[in-house]
């Protein structure tokens, strides 16, 4: 089956926020495909991060797509501001709209407010089967491989089954994995069928970001399941 190409998406949560424009440029120059932006509201997760004005500043500095991950309780209310600020992909969490009807309403609100690509995320302890009715309505499914809130946590390997399930259910959109991805765990995600691969500490930690991104990309492409297109 056709799966979309690998997208390496550095999480700006691990960047130097005091030099955000330079960090965006450095990340692009190092070969990133998307910039992953983690939005936290202090309610859905116990951390508080990035509002629309900062997303706009990132968008102004960036030339690659912004992949905005909303870890907030009221995503429909903020879809317009984040879309206007320049989000290309905007992802909400299933846990804040945990039924087919509630989620379809969020997705419709995102589309009405001009979100180009809509994603739905599931936490590590959320069964994936609940989102089956949404698979025809979203562009991306984000399988969280840590509990959201902070960078630098350890990868939860059990969630790889959800990625496999999505591909076996025939989902041909982006399957993204986020949390604890590093040179050892990122190939496991690609092998299971994920194509959008988020990494924060593994990309911003080592000194040579270009070498790090090329190594991660090569490891992902080498691990792709037979029959998928790189
Ligand atoms: C966690 C965030 C992740 C995080 C990833 O809530 O959604 O995007 O920044 O960071 P690492 O790669 O360090 O686990
Ligand atoms: Zn994220």
**Which residues are CB-contacts of 41 (< 8 A; sequence separation ≥ 6)?**
48, 71, 72, 73
Q: Mean pLDDT over all residues of the chain? A: 97
Q: Is the pLDDT of residue 97 over 60?
A: yes
Tens of pLDDT, residue by residue over 36-64, are: 999 999 999 999 999 999 999 999 999 99
Instruction: With respect to residue 228, please indicate whether it lies within any of the assigned structural domains.
Output: no
CA dihedral of 146, 149, 154, 155, whole degrees rounded to 10: 20
Does residue 79 sit within a domain? yes
For residue 227, pLDDT over 70 is answered with no
Q: What's residue 230's pLDDT?
A: 52
Indicate the top mutation candidate among 178, 181, 197 to test ligand 1's pocket, ranked by most ligand atoms within 8 A of CB: 178
CA 139 – CA 44 distance, rounded (Å): 23
> Cβ–Cβ contacts within 10 Å for residue 222, how many?
11
Residue 83 lies in a domain: yes
- The DSSP secondary structure of 147-214, one letter per residue, reads -TT-SSPPP-GGGHHHHHHHHHTT--SEEEEESS--TTTHHHHHHHT--EEEESHHHHSSS-HHHHHH
Residue whose CA lies nearest to ligand 1 atom number 9: 151
| Nearby residues of 101 by Cβ (< 8 Å), 6 or more positions away | none
Catalytic residues: 38, 178
- Best mutation site among 146, 156, 205, 212 for ligand 1 pocket (most ligand atoms within 8 Å of CB): 146
Task: Find the domain containing 138 and state its range.
Answer: 7-223
CA distance 61 to 192: 33
pLDDT tens for each residue of 160-183: 999 999 999 999 999 999 999 999
Residues 6+ apart with CB under 8 A from 154: 146, 180
Q: Is the CB of 151 under 6 A from ligand 1?
A: yes
Ligand 2 centre from 177 Cα, in Å?
9
Residue 229 within any structural domain of the chain = no
Nearest to 96 by CA among 58, 152, 163, 148: 148
Predicted TM-score of the model (pTM): 0.98
102-113 tens-digit pLDDT? 999 999 999 999
As for how many domains the chain has, the answer is 1
Q: Is residue 144 part of a domain?
A: yes
Check pLDDT > 70 for residue 229: no
Q: What is the pLDDT of residue 225?
A: 80
* pLDDT exceeds 60 at position 143: yes
**CATH code of the domain in which 105 resides:** 3.20.20.70
Percent of the chain residues past pLDDT 70, beyond the cut: 98
- Tell me, yes or no, whether 105 lies in a domain: yes
> Is 93 a pocket residue for ligand 1 (Cβ < 6 Å)?
no
Answer whether 10 contacts ligand 1 (Cβ < 6 A): no
Better-predicted residue by pLDDT, 109 or 225: 109
pLDDT higher than threshold 90 for residue 137: yes
């Amino acid at each position: 089956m056709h799966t979309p190409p690998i997208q390496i998406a550095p999480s700006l949560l691990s960047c130097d926020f005091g030099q955000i424009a330079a960090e965006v440029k450095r990340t692009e120059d190092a070969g990133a495909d998307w910039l992953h932006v983690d939005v936290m509201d202090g309610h859905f997760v116990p951390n508080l991060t990035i509002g629309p004005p900062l997303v706009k500043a990132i968008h102004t500095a960036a030339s690659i797509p912004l992949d905005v991950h909303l870890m907030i309780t009221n995503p429909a209310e903020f879809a317009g501001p984040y879309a206007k600020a320049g989000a290309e992909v905007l992802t909400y969490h299933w846990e804040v709209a945990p039924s087919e009807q509630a989620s379809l309403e969020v997705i419709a609100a995102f589309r009405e407010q001009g979100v180009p690509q809509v994603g739905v995320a599931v936490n590590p302890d959320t069964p994936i089967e609940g989102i089956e009715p949404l698979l025809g309505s979203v562009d991306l499914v984000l399988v969280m491989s840590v509990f959201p809130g902070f960078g630098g946590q350890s990868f939860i390997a059990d969630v790889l089954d959800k990625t496999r399930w999505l591909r076996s259910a025939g989902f041909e959109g982006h399957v993204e994995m986020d949390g604890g991805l590093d040179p050892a765990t990122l190939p496991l995600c690609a092998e299971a069928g994920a194509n959008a691969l988020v990494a924060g500490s593994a990309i911003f930690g080592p000194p040579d970001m270009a070498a790090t991104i090329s190594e991660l990309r090569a490891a992902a492409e080498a691990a792709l399941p037979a029959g998928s297109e790189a």
